[in-house]
Each structure stands twice: as structure tokens, then as C-alpha cells.
Structure 1
Amino acid sequence: MSSSYALPWISSHADELAGWVAVAPVGLSLWTNPPAQSKTKVLAVYGSRDAMRSDYALLEDKMPQSQFLLIPDAGHACYLDSPALFNRELIRFLENEVEG
């Protein structure tokens, strides 16, 4: 439930963030204070076997700069099931979206 800590912080500090990598974020339906008109780029990463992946629609509504990465045959801790894919896409996001 790291989102219970991260989401309030992001709401208060969105203007300081270039990007946020959200790995299987949960609790998005409870996020009552998303940053208005945020320019923060978001990479939301879920595993295909993670029941939380449907929450991406909630994140996309709240953070329109979101991108979605679905890691095949991965669970909730999707970076453990496919570290090469996770690392490659994380670097791509950082190089093309955050630094660019």
C-alpha cells in the first residue's frame, strides 16, 4: 500500500516532479486530491496476472500524462518476474519522457 504514502505526497509536490514510475499502484480510487493540470509524466507498470491492473483507468483519469506498461506473465511485483523488460522500459521512459 505504498500509494497511501505516495499519492498524498504527489498531490502536494507535483510541480517538483518530472516523472513518477508507479509500479502496480493501488488505492487510486481513494485518491481524492490529485494534482490539477499536472504535467508530471507517469509510467504505470503492472503484471498481466495482477488483479490491480484494471486500476490503470483510474490513474489515467487522474494523471493524463500516464503511460501503461503491461508485463506479460508477471504478478504484482512485476519487476521481479521480468527484470530485463522492466529495466529496458524504465530507461526508455526516463530517456524519452523525463529527460526529453
Structure 2
Amino acid sequence: LGRSKDAVAPAPVGQPAPAEFLKAVSEALCLGPAVVISPSLSGMYSLPFLLEHSHLVKAYVPVAPICTDKFTAEQYAQIKTPTLIVYGDQDVELGETSLNNLRHLPEHQVLMLQGAGHPCYLDKPNEWHRGLLAFLQQL
């Protein structure tokens, strides 16, 4: 403990991290295809992982993630992973931007939480849990 100051991230904040990072985590934990829930900053990790290793992702739940603009509509269109795009309608930073980029994922649904800001799952926890559970029950 106390050594996290020496830790080095696999990529600068706001840049996509190498997809091999989460692949290594998945393999080290002996996970099968997993449901990846990815709020905000974690998009820099989850999006490259999804795009390069979609066979390891059973479903994807991006919650207004960063880095959605780092990939093309064509790249998104190749992914067949069931996706629940989540955002708060009061999120003026990433909500609409991430939605507009992620809409190119062909197997997507959208959960917009009314009256919620960027941490929409914190602002509207009951609606978040209901929407997430309904999505997961479809898998």
C-alpha cells in the first residue's frame, strides 16, 4: 500500500489504452465473455477492448464514456455485441456526444435517465438498476 504514486497508466487520460490491458486482466482472472459496464473515464479502456476483443465481451454497457470520438462509425458497425448505451439527459459534457458516436453499434439499445447528470447511475439509481437488469435479462 502507499505505492500507487509510482503506478503508471497504460495510456494518458483521454487517449485509448491498449486493448491488451483489459485482455490481460480478463485472462488473469480466467473470465469467460463478460458483461463490461463502463462509466466515463473507463471508456479509454473498454472501447479498445470491445473493438479488438469483442469475443471476450458478452454485453457492453457504456455510461457516457470518454474516447467515443476516437473511433469511426465503420469500426463501431463491425461490433455485434449487445450494447446498452446509458446517459443522463442533463449531462452536457459527454451524454449526447457518446450517444451519437455509439449509435453506430448495430446491436444497441438506449437508456436515457431523465433529470440525471454525468454520473447518471448515482443521480437516478433506481432507474439505472431497473434498466440494467431489464437489459441483462434479455441476454
TM range, normalised to the smaller chain?
0.7 to 0.9
8 Å CA contact 2:121, 2:128 repeated in 1: yes
The equivalent residue for 1:57 is: 100
Pair 20,41 (structure 1): closer, same or farther in 2 beyond 3 Å: same
Bigger Cα displacement from structure 2, 30-39 vs 19-28:
30-39
- Answer yes or no: is 1:10 the counterpart of 2:50: yes
Scaled by the length of structure 2, the TM-score of the pair is: 0.63
Q: Secondary structure at the match of 2:53?
A: helix
- Answer yes or no: is 1:37 the counterpart of 2:83: no
Bigger proportion of residues as helix:
1
Scaled by the length of structure 1, the TM-score of the pair is: 0.85
- Answer yes or no: is 1:46 the counterpart of 2:87: yes
1 or 2 for the larger relative contact order (CA 8 Å, sep ≥6)? Answer: 1
The equivalent residue for 1:94 is: 136
- Paired residue total: 96
Identity %: 36
Larger radius of gyration: 2
Distance, in Å, in 2 between the alignment partners of 1:46 and 1:36 is: 20
Query: Where in structure 1 do 4 or more consecutive aligned residues deviate above 6 Å?
Result: none
